[in-house]
Amino acid sequence: MSIGRDKSILEFRLFKGMTYRQIGELMGISGGRVEQIVRRCYRIFCWSLERQERLFKIKNIPLEPPKENFVTLDDLSIRSRNALRSANIKEFEDLAKFRERDILKLRQIGKKGLTEITNLMKLRGISFR
pLDDT in tens, 8-48: 888 888 788 888 889 999 889 998 888 888 888 877 777 77
| Shared-domain flag, residues 109 and 79 | yes
Q: What CA dihedral angle connects 29, 78, 66 and 69, to 10 degrees?
A: 80
Who wins on pLDDT, 92 or 8? Answer: 8
| Shared-domain flag, residues 77 and 53 | no
Domain total in the chain: 2
| Shared-domain flag, residues 45 and 14 | yes
| Shared-domain flag, residues 52 and 81 | no
Q: Is the pTM of this model over 0.75?
A: no
